[in-house]
């Protein structure tokens, strides 16, 4: 590692912008040791450490197959299209790398062929788009829909064409040899470095050991970049989910099934139609109150469906009757599918999907146990409804399925510690026996950052908070001449603050939701003195270097919304064990989120800027010190005049 990362090493000679970074060198050595010793490693590597090369180069040096999993597709693309080609050019050791996305990003040749004779399309525009996909599918090397740059992002019929695992019939498919998933897996088998994102990694991990659906070949180690995200991603794949779209797509595919046995085909069609009708009735249970609009979540409780105590003979509510009727209809459909003699592979896949829907529905609706370790809820988004059950605590699952089964797991992020320790992330992820290190940042925060904490702010729950926050934001923006992110903890607060601030400033204002995130970010970068109001989508994974972003204002400490079903269940789970969910979960999780937001400000050694956190709890509450001590060491002021002086001097 010294020969590569040293002051006169390979990178210094071959990279035009290379500068020796002590933290990067230390991290590279730690990753190399972890891979050699087959140990797990936790590395917090702040912005400017150069962590990407610090883990890629040791991984390549092993010559073993290693998966690199990122939190975003943007970072995936940076690794594959920028960092990997550079390393293939300068490293003496040749290596192969590939880049994989989730299965739904790829077109399925079999489903595309079937769709040509199916009534999937609505209107001339859909027909034109379908014909373009058909032409593209005959010439593309990858089958990745990202190549279709001229088509809308949300094609309504794409879900009928993609290569999702539940529709896959594997090697029984006549398109198997030419299948884009088969080709992707072959490229992965021939590569030492496989670059994926967290969603694909955990979708694959949940399917490992099954004969269908798996994409990744066996690997020796996995490196998670942006590892602070993996708990929330992982639990989605170790639970159960049933949606309106799943059932509608199943019945639609049943209707398009061609069987020689006319009697069986008729019975399957009848059974499918009955499932669809009773599903429509069942979804009425989750529509919300009269006149309710917009997206919403609702915790599922036993009393919604059954009266009386668990285990006793009980009465069934109207909602429960709809569930039981749908369950019975699914049983009838499963029986009809099993009656077909010598079933084609497509029918076997449909039977597997039906079995899975019934299993997941029963699992979600199992509302008996008072000490259940899963949280169950319904979520309405647009016209669709999804029922979900996910683990309240993913640590045991991750310990068994990931950390015990994989020789080396490296977890790195700019935000893994809280209050100076890795205890929170260790507990949440169930990782034991890992080596820990904090890679020293290359930035001089004492000179690059001023932290401004307003001297007089009401508590966030007080009625005057939003007005007071707007007044402070206006003062700060006038000092910074715009060039700022205003990061909010809710859409409602973001909208309210923009409404109060915009008339009082003379700078261009953008707001998340006015277009795609990528489009808004591009406009912000190219517009002098711009101000962007944003929420969660801009707290992490956003990189704006230079003077365009010279100020980050955060309205409140980013505590998770306590009404969210998963958050509430996690808190209750900890409290019921006689511990403090606020101290053990709420505060550390908020610290990590705050550090992500703060990380937007300084993105290079030449950046300068003001960070302002408007929430007075940083100084009025005892837990505020945990937030302060987790931030980069920088100058702190409570005087707005210091903000003016800071910008006047730069």
Output the six-digit token pair for 16.
């035009």
Contacts of 356 (CB under 8 A, 6+ apart): 166
Q: What is the biggest distance separating any 2 CA atoms in the chain, rounded to whole angstroms?
A: 84
Q: What is the mean pLDDT of residues 40-67?
A: 94
Instruction: Kindly state the helix (H) or strand (E) to which residue 184 belongs, with its residue range.
Output: helix 180-189
Under DSSP, the state recorded for 370 is T
Output the six-digit token pair for 434.
């890992």
Q: What is the mean pLDDT of residues 415-437?
A: 93
Q: Is 563 exposed, middle or buried (0-12, 13-18, 19+ CB in 10 A)?
A: exposed
Output the six-digit token pair for 39.
């140990």
Output the six-digit token pair for 60.
């390549």
- On whether the CB atoms of residues 593 and 555 are closer than 8 A, the answer is no
- On whether the CB atoms of residues 185 and 215 are closer than 8 A, the answer is yes
Residue 451, Cα to own-chain centre: how many angstroms?
30
Under DSSP, the state recorded for 561 is P
Q: What is the mean pLDDT of residues 122-127?
A: 74
Contacts of 408 (CB under 8 A, 6+ apart): 34, 35, 38, 39, 40, 41, 220, 221, 222
Residue 335, Cα to own-chain centre: how many angstroms?
38
Looking at residue 336, what is its pLDDT? 94
Looking at residue 235, what is its pLDDT? 92
Looking at residue 215, what is its pLDDT? 81
pLDDT at 77 over 50: yes
E strand spans, 219-271? 221-225, 240-243
- On whether the CB atoms of residues 445 and 451 are closer than 8 A, the answer is no
Lowest-confidence range among 37-46, 333-342, 477-486? 333-342
Task: Determine the length of the chain.
Answer: 650
Looking at residue 122, what is its pLDDT? 67
C-alpha separations of 94 from 5, 52, 190, 396 in Å: 18, 18, 13, 38
Lowest-confidence range among 120-124, 127-131, 200-204, 285-289? 120-124
Q: Is 293 exposed, middle or buried (0-12, 13-18, 19+ CB in 10 A)?
A: exposed
Looking at residue 290, what is its pLDDT? 40
Q: How confident is the model at residue 369 (pLDDT cuts 50, 70, 90)?
A: low
- On whether the CB atoms of residues 430 and 619 are closer than 8 A, the answer is no
C-alpha separations of 217 from 66, 220, 234 in Å: 10, 10, 19
What is d(CA 547, CA 380) in angstroms, rounded to the nearest whole number?
41
pLDDT at 478 over 90: yes
pLDDT at 558 over 50: yes
Q: How confident is the model at residue 213 (pLDDT cuts 50, 70, 90)?
A: low
Looking at residue 223, what is its pLDDT? 98
pLDDT at 73 over 90: no
pLDDT at 292 over 80: no
Q: Positive or negative, the Cα torsion across 627, 633, 636, 642?
A: negative
Looking at residue 291, what is its pLDDT? 43
Produce one character per residue of 439-455: b if its CB has 16 or more CB atoms within 10 Å, e if not: bbbbbebeebbbbbbbe
Looking at residue 259, what is its pLDDT? 83
Q: What is the mean pLDDT of residues 334-363?
A: 90
What is d(CA 30, CA 33) in angstroms, rounded to the nearest whole number?
5
Output the six-digit token pair for 290.
């009269």
Reference 607, options 431, 449, 385, 377; nearest CA is: 449
Q: What is the mean pLDDT of residues 304-323?
A: 83
Find the angle CA(339)-CA(341)-CA(346) to the nearest 5 degrees. 90
C-alpha separations of 175 from 108, 112, 342 in Å: 9, 11, 20
- Average pLDDT score over the chain: 90
The residues facing 377 across adjacent strands are 299, 388
What is d(CA 624, CA 649) in angstroms, rounded to the nearest whole number?
30
Reference 162, options 178, 149, 180; nearest CA is: 180
Looking at residue 293, what is its pLDDT? 45
Q: What is the mean pLDDT of residues 334-347?
A: 86
pLDDT at 382 over 90: no
What is d(CA 643, CA 646) in angstroms, rounded to the nearest whole number?
5
What percent of the chain is helix, strand and coil (3-state, nearest 5)? 50, 15, 35
Residue 130, Cα to own-chain centre: how many angstroms?
29
What is d(CA 417, CA 589) in angstroms, rounded to the nearest whole number?
10
Reference 422, options 30, 45, 58, 54; nearest CA is: 45
C-alpha separations of 131 from 29, 112, 497 in Å: 52, 11, 46
What is d(CA 270, CA 363) in angstroms, rounded to the nearest whole number?
26
What is d(CA 485, CA 494) in angstroms, rounded to the nearest whole number?
11
What is d(CA 487, CA 597) in angstroms, rounded to the nearest whole number?
7
Reference 588, options 616, 560, 619, 564; nearest CA is: 560
pLDDT tens track for 138-195: 999 999 988 888 887 778 788 888 988 878 888 888 899 999 999 999 999 999 999 9
């Amino acid at each position: 590692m010294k020969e590569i990362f040293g002051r006169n090493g390979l990178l210094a000679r071959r990279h035009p912008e290379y500068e020796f970074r002590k933290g990067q060198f230390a991290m590279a050595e730690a990753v190399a040791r972890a891979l050699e010793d087959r140990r797990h490693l936790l590395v917090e590597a702040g912005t400017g450490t150069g962590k990407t090369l610090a883990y890629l180069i040791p991984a390549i040096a092993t010559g073993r197959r290693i998966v690199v999993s990122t939190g975003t597709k943007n970072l995936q693309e940076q690794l594959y299209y920028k960092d990997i080609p550079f390393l293939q050019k300068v490293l003496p050791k040749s290596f192969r790398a590939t880049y994989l996305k989730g299965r739904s990003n790829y077109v399925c040749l079999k489903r595309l062929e079937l769709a040509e004779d199916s009534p999937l399309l609505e209107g001339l525009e859909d027909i034109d788009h379908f014909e373009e996909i058909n032409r593209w599918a005959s010439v593309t090397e990858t089958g990745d829909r990202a190549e279709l740059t001229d088509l809308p992002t949300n094609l309504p019929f794409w879900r009928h064409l993609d290569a999702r695992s539940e529709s896959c019939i594997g090697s029984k498919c006549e398109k198997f040899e030419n299948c884009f998933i088969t080709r992707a897996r072959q490229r992965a088998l021939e590569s030492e470095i496989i670059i994926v994102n967290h969603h694909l990694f955990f979708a694959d991990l949940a399917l490992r050991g099954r004969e269908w659906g798996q994409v990744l070949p066996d690997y020796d180690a996995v490196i998670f970049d942006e590892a602070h995200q993996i708990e929330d991603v992982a639990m989605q794949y170790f639970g159960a989910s049933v949606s309106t779209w799943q059932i509608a797509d199943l019945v639609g595919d049943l209707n398009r099934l061609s069987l020689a046995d006319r009697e069986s085909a008729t019975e399957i069609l009848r059974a499918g139609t009955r499932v669809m009708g009773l599903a429509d009735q069942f979804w009425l249970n989750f529509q919300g109150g009269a006149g309710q609009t917009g997206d919403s979540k609702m915790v599922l409780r036993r009393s919604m469906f059954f009266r009386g105590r668990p285990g006793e003979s009980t009465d069934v509510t109207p909602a429960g009757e709809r569930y039981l009727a749908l369950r019975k209809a699914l049983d009838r459909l499963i029986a009809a599918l099993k009656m077909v003699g010598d079933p084609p592979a497509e029918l076997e896949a449909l039977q597997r999907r039906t079995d899975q829907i019934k299993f997941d529905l029963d699992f979600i609706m199992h509302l008996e146990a008072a000490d259940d370790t899963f949280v169950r809820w319904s979520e309405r988004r647009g016209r669709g409804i999804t029922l979900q059950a996910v683990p309240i605590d993913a640590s045991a699952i991750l310990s068994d399925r990931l950390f015990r089964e994989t020789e080396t797991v490296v977890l790195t992020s700019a935000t893994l510690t809280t209050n100076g320790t890795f205890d929170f992330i260790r507990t949440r992820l169930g990782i034991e026996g890992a080596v820990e290190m904090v890679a020293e940042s290359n930035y001089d925060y004492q000179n690059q950052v001023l932290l401004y904490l307003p001297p007089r702010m009401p508590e966030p729950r007080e009625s005057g908070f939003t007005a007071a926050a707007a007044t402070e934001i206006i003062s700060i923006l006038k000092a910074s001449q715009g060039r700022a992110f205003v990061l909010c903890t809710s859409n409602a607060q973001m909208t309210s603050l923009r409404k109060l601030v915009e008339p009082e400033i003379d700078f261009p204002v953008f707001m998340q939701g006015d277009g795609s995130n990528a489009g808004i970010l591009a406009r912000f970068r190219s517009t002098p003195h711009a101000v962007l109001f944003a929420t969660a989508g801009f707290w992490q994974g956003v990189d704006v270097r230079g003077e365009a972003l010279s100020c980050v204002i955060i309205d409140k400490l980013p505590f998770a919304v306590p009404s969210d079903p998963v958050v509430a269940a996690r808190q209750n789970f900890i409290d019921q064990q006689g511990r403090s969910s606020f101290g053990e979960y709420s505060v550390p999780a908020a610290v990590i989120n705050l550090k992500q937001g703060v990380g937007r400000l300084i993105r290079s050694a030449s950046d300068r800027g003001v960070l302002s956190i408007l929430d007075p709890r940083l100084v009025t509450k005892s837990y505020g010190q945990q937030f302060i001590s987790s931030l980069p060491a920088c100058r702190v002021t409570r005087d707005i005049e210091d903000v003016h002086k800071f910008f006047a001097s730069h």
